[in-house]
Amino acid sequence: MPFPCPPDREEPPVLDRKFLRENRDLVTRAVARKRESVDIDAYFERDAERRALLQEVEELQARANRENKAIAARRKAGEDVTADIARMKELSARIKELRARVAAVEAAVRELYLRIPNIPHASVPDGGEEDAVEVRRWGEPRPAADVPPHWEIAARLGWWHPEAAGRLSGSGFPLLSGELARLERVLVDFMIDLHRERGYREVSVPYLVNNDAMLGTGQLPKMADDMYRVERDALWLIPTAEVPVTNIHRETTLPAEQLPLKYVAFSPCFRREAGAAGKDTRGLLRVHQFHKVEMVQLVRPEDSYEALEELTDEAEEVLRRLELPYRVVMLAAGDLSFAAAKCYDLEVWAPGVDRWLEVSSCSNFEDFQARRAGIRYKGGGASGYVHTLNGSGLALPRLLVALLENGLTDDGRVKVPAALQPYLGGRELLG
């Protein structure tokens, strides 16, 4: 199926305003549950002001139309309409003034509007990070005792070079070499192959995108400070392949019979991590540049929660084949991303740092992103906005952490999982 190439639009659509007005209590509670900072009361006040101004403009314009017709009739009959024309000039000036006020209020409304988060699904618990619900576990975690952290393992084997990376780019930009660099590369091939087996279409996407793309998936305006921007070209370095992949079908209507669409992409990811300054500064736990394989689905609305379970299992399958212990947790509302309605995090066990580490977030955005990006479907007597989902399948840095720390052998080498050995020429051990 060829990809559409719609022109960029100046004003991407946002959430359905009628829905917000009719469900004010639900929306207000959603903002509170997600712990977002948008002034939702100010939004409703400015929106009411905007609608009142629009109504006044419409009434005055209708009056102007009627009076213009009447003036034309009197002029045709030979009557003096000088006073009427002067009155109409005053009315036109008033309409122009009101239209300017409408534009100013609309700009304020839109700024608030774009900061209203998606509404959490009813199954999502209240609370923050500490209130996540563990759904299931797989595998037996290796005891943390006597397992050094991954940066010590990699440094001892000559694969980890933080000083050289610092000279190049500063902190947070990893430099890997030798067998660890190769391991990262073959992991990408392994994961892409696995997802292709599960019906995903591989795509290679741009790594810089425009404002519309970032608005469409919900990174803008909220996450602007966490992303890298190329000012000269008005482009953003992608924080995840989710952004370009989801926007492939921006401003298009898809035939319903083509759904679901399932894409997988590899990309570098760039994040300032402005909100996480000072956290996890050692090793690969939190970096500004990393690689990731991303899965994206576009589905019919009635299928999206079944698709979320399927997508989560597909991410889990990577960890099962790599023989890495992990757990699945359902995030609480206050820890959900801005755009997500429901999210499962996959956390892999890392004994060297004695922690569960997130390696994937599998999210259902319902129609939140599709409304912003204008992605619709039609066919079979149904139409509307698609539901979008995505999940890391998986992110590389913490996956490497888990492989190093779980695979460390008594003689200081690293065991290669059986599923990866064909990608490494049959190697069973690295180092």
Say yes or no: 251 and 284 in one domain: yes
Tell me, what CATH number does 57's domain have?
1.10.287.40
Say yes or no: 67 and 153 in one domain: no
Tell me, what CATH number does 185's domain have?
3.30.930.10
With beta carbons less than 8 A apart as the criterion, state whether 61 and 102 touch.
Answer: no
Average pLDDT value for the chain: 94
pLDDT confidence band for 277 (50 / 70 / 90): low
Say yes or no: 153 and 216 in one domain: yes
pLDDT at site 146: 83
Catalytic positions, written as ranges: 271, 286, 358, 361, 398
Q: What's the whole-model pTM score?
A: 0.91
Q: Tell me whether residue 243 is in a domain.
A: yes
Gap between the terminal Cα atoms of the chain: 45
Mean pLDDT of 43-65: 96
Domain boundaries, position 46: 39-113
Query: In the block, which residue shows the tokens 């948008």?
Result: 38
Last residue of a domain, one of 79, 113, 147: 113
Q: Tell me whether residue 198 is in a domain.
A: yes
Say yes or no: 218 and 85 in one domain: no
Q: Tell me whether residue 34 is in a domain.
A: no
Say yes or no: 137 and 210 in one domain: yes
- Whether the per-residue pLDDT at 340 is higher than 70: the answer is yes
Say yes or no: 285 and 345 in one domain: yes
Q: Tell me whether residue 19 is in a domain.
A: no
- Whether the per-residue pLDDT at 216 is higher than 60: the answer is yes
Question: What residue spans of 7-81 are helical by DSSP H?
Answer: 17-22, 24-33, 40-76
The token pair at 14 is: 């946002």
pLDDT at site 10: 39
The token pair at 81 is: 């309409």
Q: How many domains does the chain have?
A: 2
Q: Tell me whether residue 175 is in a domain.
A: yes
Going through 142-260 in order, the beta strands assigned E by DSSP cover 201-202, 208-209, 229-230, 235-237, 252-255
Q: Tell me whether residue 118 is in a domain.
A: no
pLDDT confidence band for 273 (50 / 70 / 90): confident
pLDDT confidence band for 276 (50 / 70 / 90): low
Measuring CA to CA, how many Å separate 387 from each of 29, 77, 261, 368?
Answer: 22, 62, 11, 8
Q: Tell me whether residue 268 is in a domain.
A: yes
pLDDT at site 281: 77
Q: Tell me whether residue 100 is in a domain.
A: yes
Say yes or no: 227 and 311 in one domain: yes
CB neighbour class for 172 (10 Å; exposed up to 12, middle 13-18, buried from 19): middle
pLDDT in tens, 278-336: 677 789 999 999 999 999 999 999 999 999 999 999 999 999 999 999 999 999 999 99
Alpha carbons within 13 angstroms on the beta-carbon side of residue 86 total 4
Say yes or no: 105 and 185 in one domain: no
With beta carbons less than 8 A apart as the criterion, state whether 226 and 272 touch.
Answer: yes
Per-residue b or e along 206-229, where b marks 16 or more CB atoms closer than 10 Å to that residue's CB: ebbbebbbbbbbbbbebbeeebee
Last residue of a domain, one of 113, 148, 168: 113
The region of weakest confidence among 53-67, 265-279, 394-408 is 265-279
- Whether the per-residue pLDDT at 9 is higher than 50: the answer is no
The token pair at 277 is: 């300054």
Say yes or no: 293 and 340 in one domain: yes
With beta carbons less than 8 A apart as the criterion, state whether 191 and 293 touch.
Answer: yes
Last residue of a domain, one of 113, 140, 157: 113
pLDDT confidence band for 55 (50 / 70 / 90): very high
Say yes or no: 375 and 415 in one domain: yes
Say yes or no: 93 and 193 in one domain: no
With beta carbons less than 8 A apart as the criterion, state whether 120 and 336 touch.
Answer: yes
Mean pLDDT of 183-207: 98
Say yes or no: 95 and 225 in one domain: no
